[in-house]
Amino acid sequence: MSDEANKGLLSPLRRKLLMGMAAVPAITMLPRASFAQAPATSAVNTTGLAVTDTEVTVGILHSATGTMAISETGSIEAEKLAIEQINAMGGVLGRKIKFIQEDGASDWPTFAEKAKKLLVNDKVAAIMGCWTSASRKAVLPVVEQYNGMLYYPTFYEGLEQSKNVIYTGQEATQQILAGLNWIAKEKGAKTFFFIGSDYIWPRTSNKIARKHVENVLKGKVVGEEYYALGSTQFNSVINKIKLTKPDVIFTDVVGGSNVAFYKQLKAAGIDLAKQPLLTISVTEDEIDGIGGENIAGAYACMKYFQSLDNPNNKAFVPAFKKAWGEKTVIGDVTQAAYLGPWLWKLTVEKAGSFDVDKIAAASPGVEFKGAPEGYVRIHENHHLWSKTRVGRAKLDGQFELIYETADLVEPDPFPKGYQ
Amino acid sequence: MFGDYSLGDLGSIFVMQGFAGLILFSVYVLMALGLAIIFGQMGVINMAHGEFMILGAYVTWMTSNLFQTYMPSLFGGYFFLAMILAFLASGALGMLVEWVLIRHLYKRPLDTLLATWGLSLMLQQAYRSVFGAREVGVELPQWMLGSLHVTDSIEVPINGVFVMCLTVLITISVAYVMYKSRWGRQVRAVVQNRIMAGAVGINTEKVDRYTYGLGCGIAGVAGSAFTMIGSTGPTSGQLYIVDTFLVVVFGGAASLLGTIASAFSISQTQSTLEFFMSGSMAKVLTLLAVVGILMLRPQGLFALKVRK
């Protein structure tokens, strides 16, 4: 499976192109000698991982089938692209990365089982995977028990930290606070209406947002509504929004509900150009389904937009499209998933070893200057320092960058005063 | 909660809330009609109902792409053609499925549940392989977007009105076909007594196939219409299946009128409750009420009187 995928991806021309773009981070971050001659396997692998003199195996664990495949496909594509690029520039410690892809099938026990299979049978050096918090919670005890290394890409609610996990997405405060500050200042917003899907991530995020609105911004939350996952009827809540006339609608609705929500908002005559709406759950991926005309004008709070104007991203977007098709879009989580293999590679090289304990210890401080979002660094708590950005959705389904924090925002998975 | 608002505000909200309820009602009727025929009339527990709907949605998406590429000048009217194509595509698939799968299971109604559930998984994966795992966005013509401006504060969504008209139209056609046409009489005869219907010369196999096809076709039209209000992806059909069964079972399986009455009561309850409390709570209370009533009246709201 993996070999086929690699072959299909790498035409000679494409390989040349990848080499060209991969050379930028290579020069800045790697002493040339490090892959000129590979260190002995016995020295870099003391715990029996799947490392040979020429290859190292990692696992990719996402849902390629089932209801979450919609969201996780982008992550799979990004991780494969990163691995391919790393291989094109010489691999990790002189070893090519081989990957084994397992399908979590949108089913949390399956995720745990496949993670165990990857760690125990395949002895993979790291797992790039999981998407929903539920799947991560299912996999977490497994990676901790068998001492694996998981690179988790999704922005999530926080309240978690593990030696065995690197969180390449934002935790809740990184995603929410700067965005709320911005909209309060820019739009003079005082009243907020929260609407979310009914599960842990929106509820935790809204709890943090509410504390911030009430205690820091001195504003008021005039409504907080939750709809079951998969709900497709939002007319009643839209009427409530019309009645309460909030300065800002703050949403974390996910999945198919998202599409229904924005279509009905538009149909109800709420013009997002006049009614500010801030979402933390819509990326370019979701807009594909929602339709640009239904959401144009809305603000999204993310750390990455496909339209970001920096040299890394200018190389990343064409490479991604070349590998996966002109029409593919790249959302926030897809970019975060792309960081996983790179951060792992850099950490392995810093530690000079594939051993999980050494990687876990070496992770804090590892920086990736080639990140499409700009620059990221791993914090002591295994989350990433990254910027918060606000973009405005355009008709063509892309975001226009409106605001970004001046500095990297410190990850704070257990925020004091917000719980 | 109403203290802070003016009387005018409240008045217009009640009007709009009334519309919200009516739209929900139309959506429920539209998605339940196909199943009311298949489950209600034929006794087949069609778990793949949602996937037949999504086939209609994908057909609509393809038609819209086709019009955009080849006849952009006619784009404003593509939706009507799309609905007809959706009906034909889902209906044809339905008849094929009936021939391959369902007709062997009429004597084992519970097994149809498993068989059609398997079918729904296969269809989902087929959509995923053909159309990709990501959701697709169906572009609508300009006139179907936005809302009708009735007064300054009352706005009625155009797509909601469209769904309402469509529902009325399809309900009347189905009622006519079922209760007035010769073919409808045959269907009802087969439902009531298959052996006897065969004995008087009705081709029961053919009736079954067309009935199943009709039910699936209507599901396809519903799916096509729902591209206006919901998402189109390989698993989007799953969003509708629970509500659909709820409406049909609550209404009394074999009764078209029951389906309508049940859709009306469920939608009004839910939409009213949603206004006064959170969406999830409203759903819980609605389901509780339905369960309670079904415990008292297991046959549903309206039951067909037949000699068993």
| ipTM reported for the complex, 2 dp | 0.80
pLDDT of residue B137: 81
**Is residue B308 a part of any domain in this protein?**
no
Nearest residue in A to B269, CA atom: A236
**Which residues in chain A touch residue B233, judged by CB atoms under 8 angstroms apart?**
70, 256, 289
**Is residue B7 a part of any domain in this protein?**
no
Among the ranges given (A143-147, A160-164, B232-236), the one the predictor scored with the smallest mean pLDDT: B232-236
- pLDDT band at residue A30, thresholds of 50, 70 and 90? very low
Interface with B, mutate which of A77, A263, A275, A395 (most B CBs under 10 A): A263
| Residues paired with residue A367 on neighbouring β-strands, in sequence order | A377
**Is residue B10 a part of any domain in this protein?**
no
pLDDT in tens, A293-320: 899 999 999 999 999 999 999 999 999 9
**Which residues in chain A touch residue B222, judged by CB atoms under 8 angstroms apart?**
none
For residue B154, count other CB atoms closer than 10 A to its CB.
Answer: 18
Alpha carbon distance B262, A312 (integer Å): 57
Residue with the bigger pLDDT between A4 and B141: it is B141
**Is residue B225 a part of any domain in this protein?**
yes
Residue A26 pLDDT greater than 80, yes or no: no
Is A237 near chain B, with CB under 8 Å? yes
**Is residue B57 a part of any domain in this protein?**
yes
pLDDT of residue B3: 55
- Residues lower than pLDDT 70 in chain B: 1-5, 253, 304-308
Q: Please answer yes or no on whether B133 and A69 come within 8 Å at the CB atom.
A: yes
Q: Chain B 48-107, CB below 8 Å of chain A: which residues? A: none
**Is residue B5 a part of any domain in this protein?**
no
**What mean pLDDT is predicted for residues A133-142?**
95
Question: Which tokens hold the place of A337?
Answer: 């998933």
**Which residues in chain B touch residue A227, judged by CB atoms under 8 angstroms apart?**
278-280
Residue A62 pLDDT greater than 80, yes or no: yes
pLDDT in tens, A338-364: 999 999 999 999 999 999 999 999 999
C-alpha separations of A359 from A136, A158, A356, B184 in Å: 20, 22, 5, 71
Q: Are strands A376-378 and A367-368 parallel, antiparallel or unpaired?
A: antiparallel
Q: What is the mean pLDDT of chain A?
A: 89
Residue A17 pLDDT greater than 70, yes or no: no
pLDDT of residue A59: 97
Q: What is the pTM of this model?
A: 0.83
**What mean pLDDT is predicted for residues A15-27?**
47
pLDDT of residue B305: 61
**Is residue B130 a part of any domain in this protein?**
yes
Domain count for chain B, please give it: 1
CB B261 within 8 A of CB B301: yes
pLDDT of residue B119: 96
pLDDT of residue A37: 62
Residue A15 pLDDT greater than 70, yes or no: no
**What mean pLDDT is predicted for residues A219-238?**
89
Alpha carbon distance A358, A162 (integer Å): 14
CB A158 within 8 A of CB A419: no
For residue A254, count other CB atoms closer than 10 A to its CB.
Answer: 20
Is B135 near chain A, with CB under 8 Å? yes
- pLDDT band at residue A8, thresholds of 50, 70 and 90? very low
Task: Tell me the shortest Cα–Cα distance from A327 to chain B, in angstroms.
Answer: 12
Task: Tell me the shortest Cα–Cα distance from A69 to chain B, in angstroms.
Answer: 6
pLDDT of residue B304: 62
Residue A84 pLDDT greater than 90, yes or no: yes
Residue A11 pLDDT greater than 80, yes or no: no
Interface with B, mutate which of A259, A262, A285, A328 (most B CBs under 10 A): A259
Residue A13 pLDDT greater than 80, yes or no: no
Q: Please answer yes or no on whether B159 and A267 come within 8 Å at the CB atom.
A: yes
Q: Chain A 26-85, CB below 8 Å of chain B: which residues? A: 64-67, 69-70, 73-74
Residue with the bigger pLDDT between A184 and B4: it is A184
Cβ-nearest to B229 among A67, A224, A264:
A264
- Give the DSSP letter string of B63-103: HHHHHHHH-GGGGGGHHHHHHHHHHHHHHHHHHHHHHHTGG
A417: left (phi over 0), alpha (psi -120 to 50) or beta: left
pLDDT of residue A162: 96
| Strands lying side by side in the sheet with A248-252 | A220-227, A191-197, A248-252, A277-279, A299-302, A389-393, A399-404
**Is residue B214 a part of any domain in this protein?**
yes
- pLDDT band at residue A45, thresholds of 50, 70 and 90? very high
The percent of residues in chain A predicted with pLDDT above 90, rounded, is: 75
Structural domain range at position B94: 18-296
- pLDDT band at residue A3, thresholds of 50, 70 and 90? very low
**Which residues in chain B touch residue A396, judged by CB atoms under 8 angstroms apart?**
none
- pLDDT band at residue A144, thresholds of 50, 70 and 90? very high
Residue with the bigger pLDDT between B298 and A169: it is A169
Q: Please answer yes or no on whether A289 and B239 come within 8 Å at the CB atom.
A: no
